[in-house]
Copies of this chain bind each other. A is one copy, B any other.
Amino acid sequence: MAMDDAPKPHFVLVPLMAQGHMIPMADFALLLVSRGSRVSLITTPVNARRLRAVANRGGDNLRLVELSMPCAEFGLPEGCENVDLVRQPELFIPFFNCIRRLEDQLNRYLREQPPAPTCIIADQCMPWTMEVANDLGIPRFVFHCPSCFYLLCTLRIAEHELYEKVSDPCEAFFVPGLPQLPQRIEVNKLKAQRFLDVPDLDLLRHVQEADATADGIVLNTCYEFEPWCVDDYRGALGKEVWPVGPVSLIHKDTGGKVVRGDGSAGVDHSGVSQWLDGREPGSVLFISFGSIARTLFRQQVEIGNALEATGRPFLWAMKEAEKGDLVEEWLAEFEERNRGNGIIVKGWVPQVLILTHPAVGCFMTHCGWNSTLEAVAAGVPMVTWPHFADQFLNEKLVVDILRTGVSVGVKAPFFYMAAGDDALVKSEAVERAVESIMGGVEGEKIRRRARKFAEKASKVMEEGGSSKDNLDRMIDYTINLATGNYKANGRATALC
């Protein structure tokens, strides 16, 4: 099935408007197009500008659909269409309430614009797509952005009602119901938070209902990285679960790796590539903490001191700390001292391009799942530095289960204005973690394990690979739903 002469399904992809959610969904759209499907990628004008370049790679079969968010009506600044544009904590709830307004627009669009939709695949954070799919009488899959390990752990904690029973967010407990694991996973509620579990947001229950009623689950991971997690998760849900990732592997060439993310940023990657080309294989430490976490100035100084202590070449993707003479001065002097040995890049960097460059030997990461997965797929070992959300459980996966990383030692989520000066990770700890990966005999074991995962990853998208098979199975499943009558409502879903 899913051949050129076979009927083409039309998938409607609905990502959450957040950088870490749009990027994998756009990659997934390209994957579907590469398998002969049509895709409508639903977004808004501000986000469409970021997605345009990568969407263009999908050709005529990938359509970017711009719905409009009524920001003003919810007290949001005009154009506040992405999580990274929400600057005041109290605007998060209005932001999500505003997103909910896309429901009617999407419903209308899908009824009016041919080709008719075959199936909706929506981010877990967009549960209102359930109402759209129900109303149109078409199947709906949930696309999960976190790791399967995170999904399974939080599911087990919820099943055992530990989110309710453990009242102290600091109280340590073991994640129950993980018999396949040789060791136990100790967490507390701060380190095992569920997405969108915010009082008043009133979204978690909706998310849980949408998860429970979905026709299938798509995961951005591959079976080889988390085999027993996928098995257990599928068993727990009792429905189809398709690990189809790492979706970033759709990009084989430099062009694709560069336009991923923010295609509107007009990144000049050539300087970075040239610099990496001049370094020894496996010699460079790459540092990036993702699109949301912000590194405080004094923490930057600790990292900088660690880099100088190791003497290793580094590529540091730095977000702007607060402005000030002190900051400018330190940065200028630091860059001057390290000229030739390290570079600092501000703003968006082509992360997959960097991680897949042979010069890169270690990745210091916040453990967002996209970053983690890209590093595992590229065979790059990690210094893990989680900040919040699923990142602490992703760290556990990397350090304790995959054993391709070393923790820098963060003990609790970072809350701006609530973290004391003593919450800084000191340069000695940073240096120790880097050296335990990039140097020594133990480091070589970690590096070897990391390379093994790259070998596995190199096959999953190829003929006979698990993720390719899963994607085909998912498409076939959709076609079967479409050619039969979908569920009890008697309406056939459409194929192009």
The yes or no answer to A418 lying at the interface (CB within 8 A) is yes
Q: Is the CB of B420 within 8 A of A193?
A: yes
Q: How far is the CB of A294 from chain B (nearest CB, A)?
A: 7
* Interface hits, A309-326 → B, CB 8 Å: 321-324, 326
A37 → chain B closest CB, angstroms: 36
Contacts of A202 in B (CB 8 A): 298, 326
How many copies of this chain sit in the oligomeric assembly? 2
Give the interface size bracket for A toward B.
35 or more
**Closest B residue to A97 using CB positions:** B324
Contact B412 A415 (CB under 8 A): no
CB < 8 Å: which of B198, B326, B415 contacts A420? Answer: B198
Distance of A92 Cα from B200 Cα, bound (Å): 25
- A410 CB to closest chain B CB (Å) equals 9
9 contacts between A and B (CB under 8 A): A90-B294, A167-B422, A170-B170, A189-B422, A190-B418, A199-B296, A199-B297, A200-B299, A413-B418
* A78 in contact (CB, < 8 A): no
The reply to whether B296 and A422 contact each other, CB–CB distance below 8 Å, is no
B188 touches A417 (CB 8 A): no
> Contacts A198-B419, A420-B163 given: A169-B412 contact, CB under 8 Å?
yes
Contact with B along A289-311 (1 / 0, CB 8 A): 00000101111000000000000
Q: Which 3 pairs show the lowest CB-CB distances between chains A and B? A: A170-B170, A168-B411, A197-B420
Contacts of A409 in B (CB 8 A): 167
Asked if A110 is an interface residue, CB under 8 A from chain B, the answer is no
Enumerate chain B residues within 8 angstroms of A171, measured Cβ to Cβ.
411
Bound-state CA distance A272–B324 (Å) is 49
| B417–A168 CB distance below 8 A | no
**Is A336's CB within 8 Å of the partner chain B?**
no
Q: B296–A200 contact, CB under 8 A?
A: yes
A87 CA / B412 CA spacing, docked (Å): 24
Q: Which residues in chain A, 269-300, are within 8 Å of chain B measured between CB atoms? A: 294, 296-299
Contact present for A163 and B193 (CB under 8 Å) = no
Contact indicator per residue, chain A 325-345, by CB within 8 Å of chain B (1) or not (0)? 010000000000000000000
Q: Is A89 engaged at the interface, CB distance under 8 Å to the other chain?
A: yes
In A76-99, the 8 Å CB interface with B consists of: 87-90, 92-94, 97
Contact B188 A170 (CB under 8 A): yes
- Secondary structure at the A interface, as helix, strand, loop or mixed, is loop
| B contact residues around A90 at 8 Å (CB) | 87, 294, 322, 416
Question: Is A388 an interface position by the 8 A CB rule?
Answer: yes
Q: Which residue of B lies closest to A410 (CB)?
A: B167
Q: In the complex, A422→B168 CA distance in Å?
A: 10
Chain B contacts of A199 at CB under 8 A? 296-299, 419-421, 423-424
> What is the 8 Å Cβ interface bit string for chain A, positions 118-132, against chain B (1 contact, 0 not)?
000000000000000
Please, how many angstroms separate the alpha-carbon atoms of A296 and B93 in the complex? 11
Answer whether residue A227 sits at the interface, using C-beta atoms and an 8 A cutoff: no
Residues 390 to 447 of chain A near chain B (Cβ within 8 Å) = 409, 411-413, 415-424
Q: For A167, A323, A388, A422, which residue has the most chain B Cβ atoms within 10 angstroms?
A: A422
* CB <8 Å contact, B421 and A204: yes
Could you say which of A324, A415, A420, A424 has the most chain B C-beta atoms within 10 Å of its C-beta? A420
Q: Are A321 and B200 in contact (CB under 8 A)?
A: yes
Q: Does A59 contact B (CB under 8 A)?
A: no
Chain B residues within 8 Å of A170, by CB = 169-170, 172, 188, 190, 411-412
Q: What B residues does A198 contact at CB under 8 A? A: 417, 419-421
The answer to the question of A463 belonging to the interface, with a C-beta cut-off of 8 Å to chain B, is no
- A418 in contact with B164 (CB, 8 Å): no
Whether A194 sits at the interface, judged by CB under 8 Å, is yes
Check: A255 CB closer than 8 A to any chain B CB: no
Inside 8 A of A296's CB, which chain B residues have their CB?
199-200
